Amino acid sequence: MTQHTPGPWTVDVEDECRVIDVQDCTVARTDYVEIEEERDWQVANAALIAAAPAMLEALLDITRWVDPDLDPLAGKILTKARAAIAAAEGRADLGVEPVERPVCTCPFASEGYLSKNCALHAAEGQGDTQS
């Protein structure tokens, strides 16, 4: 795989759906939509994409410095970190099963998404009932 655009990446202050590099070149863009809840998701997606180089570097540091012999949980963390690195580098995953997440069935949710307005998810710290 070709090397990715060097970080840091940031969300453009004038276009919150555009992720840029230090030279103001577009790295990625999420869809801008008029529906407020979906727009919020796209803005959140842009922030997540912008954080990718820093997260990749943190994961690489974890694989270099965490000793699985010191803590039984460390081995599981290293497996997940290596799988995420492999995915980011375009290599096959390392067989880590995805975490089962509940599907929100509240009336505010789109299929497969956790709704920001769902009280259940807000109680779990995954949502916000003020929208």
pLDDT by residue (tens digit) across 29-65? 998 777 777 888 899 999 999 999 999 999 999 888 8
- Name the more confident of 27 and 104: 27
Distance, in Å, from the CA atom of 9 to the CA atom of 90, rounded to the nearest integer, reads 19
Domain regions of the chain by residue span: 1-50, 52-99, 101-131
Average pLDDT over residues 92-116: 51
Give backbone dihedrals phi and psi of 119, rounded to 5 degrees, phi first.
-60, -35
- Name the more confident of 111 and 83: 83
Query: Which tokens sit at 8?
Result: 């840091």
Average pLDDT over residues 67-88: 83
Average pLDDT over residues 9-21: 93
Average pLDDT over residues 55-82: 85
Q: Within 13 A of 72's CA, how many CA atoms are on the CB side?
A: 0
